[in-house]
Amino acid sequence: MGGLDGLSVWAEDDLRRKLLWYRQVSANRMPAKFRIAGHIPVEVPLAEAPEEVLWEELEAKTPVFLDLWDRIRRGIDDLPASPRPQPNLVDLCRELSIRMLSHCNFCRWNCRVDRQKGTKFGTCKLAEDSRVSSYFHHPGEELIYRGRLGSGTIFFTSCNMRCAFCQNGDISTDKDNGEVVSARTLATMAWLLRMEGCHNVNWVGGEVTIHLHSIVEAISLLEDLRPNIQDLREALGVKSDYYTSYRRNPEGATYRGAFNAPMLWNSNFFMSAPAMKVLRLLMDVWLPDFKFGPGKCAVNLSRTPWYWETVTGNMQLIHGWGEEFTIRHLVMPNHVECCTRPVLEWIAQTMPDVPVNVMDQFHPDNFCDPSGAKYDKKHEEIARRPTSQEIVQAFRYAKDLGLHFESLSYEKNATGLRLLA
């Protein structure tokens, strides 16, 4: 594998320590959390038990998982040598996400529609099926995620927000984009990317939360997955870098003889509390996208109420849990004072230790692109790129607040660095 460990960015002691678990799993020195959760037995019959009993079991078994995870992390324990119990905590997560689907509360919209029936739709407009638009070795994520062989990125269709400027508008606004995938095909995609050397499995969209059930089921299949010709044929049909030849290297994708990869949750963080409880047991590293300040911008630009309290609440949860994550913030034109500044101030006050990527790549797209067919003049204020003054001001705020942002933000922005100097 084209190791993540050798990257110069890890020379930064601080960054190396903050993403220790992620690096260890990526290098297969540690088992991913889903592998650990698979060794925690659950005591209730999954198919028959009422949903509240399943949640009680999750609450009871989460501390057991955390204890084993902690001992493994500290190097004083390892995965049990015995076969995984049946059912186990991953099975419970899968069952709970399917139960949630029938009164969907995956995200803060809490639409309560039965997506298995598919006769009524929530904000994401989805029924039960999940569609993948593309998947590939992503060369454009932060260096800590893309490494040398790419971040194993799987792009799902549709979204639960309505960002006028969405830079992935083709997949977020078109719920029928891409191909319907089974959980097994999805697992095969993750398996392929990791076998080909990707440093992580990067679940993203559109938005990933709205596909929680499919992702959890795919993860539940990964440990025992041995894709056959049919599985590979179905998965390869959607692979965007199908024509690039990557050598498959099982040794770089296994821990103690079974599939291993860090799971990366790349999300707008508009998740519900129940979804967070499930994801806590399965995600090794998180990538929240923190866009809007506490005013009206989330509603005006994204038609999303409860944005600030939901996203900050979920970030506080993972911070309190001691999870590893980095935050993205996209600088928007005319929104440095109302969005960038309060977002960075909140991070500095609440979690100053967390690395931040202050991103400068905003470009007019989707409903704010004057040259596009979907352009809506009411979004004129963001129908341009940020000026260099706005970008420098954003960097200056981050610097003055003492945030850890240079290593993630400047790697593609020597201009910003020079301007700020």
Query: Using CA atoms, how far apart are residues 235 and 238, in angstroms rounded to an integer?
Result: 6
* Contact code string over 251-290 relative to ligand SF4, x by CB under 6 A: ----------------------------------------
Contact range with ligand SF4 by CB under 6 A, out of 71-79, 123-131, 336-344, 378-386: 123-131
* Whole-Å CA distances, 142 to 3, 50, 292, 307, 328: 15, 42, 21, 25, 10
- Least Å distance, CB 212 to ligand SF4, is 8
- Quick check: 418 and 370 in contact, CB under 8 A? no
For the segment 319-338, give every residue that binds ligand SF4 (CB under 6 A).
Answer: none
Indicate whether 123 belongs to the interface with ligand SF4 (CB under 6 A). Answer: yes
How far lies 385's CA from each of 10, 69, 169, 299, 382, in Å?
32, 44, 17, 21, 8
Rounded CA gap, 72 and 241, in Å?
36
The CA distances from residue 205 to 37, 95, 160, 358, in Å, are 25, 23, 10, 20
Q: Considering only 99-107, 232-240, 243-251, 258-266, which stretch makes contact with ligand SF4 by CB under 6 A?
A: 99-107
The values of phi and psi at residue 111, to 5°, are -65, -25
Of the candidate residues 106, 135, 155, 286, the single one contacting ligand SF4 (CB under 6 A): 106
3-state SS, residue 233: helix
Binding to ligand SF4 (CB under 6 A) within 341-400 occurs at: none
**CB-CB neighbours of 116 under 10 Å:** 15
Element of type H or E holding 97: helix 89-101
Q: Per CB under 6 A, does 107 bind ligand SF4? A: yes
Residue closer to ligand SF4 (CB basis): 104 or 301: 104
111 makes contact with ligand SF4 (CB under 6 A):
yes
- The verdict on 124 binding ligand SF4 (CB under 6 A) reads yes
Which residue from 97, 133, 160, 314 is in contact with ligand SF4, where contact means CB under 6 A?
160
Q: Toward ligand SF4, which CB reaches closer, 123 or 314?
A: 123
Cβ closest to ligand SF4, residue 105 vs residue 326: 105
Nearer to ligand SF4, 79 or 111 (CB): 111
Query: How far, in Å, CA of 290 to CA of 309, rounded?
Result: 11
Q: Which residues bind ligand SF4 (CB under 6 A)?
A: 104-107, 109-111, 113, 122-124, 126, 160, 210
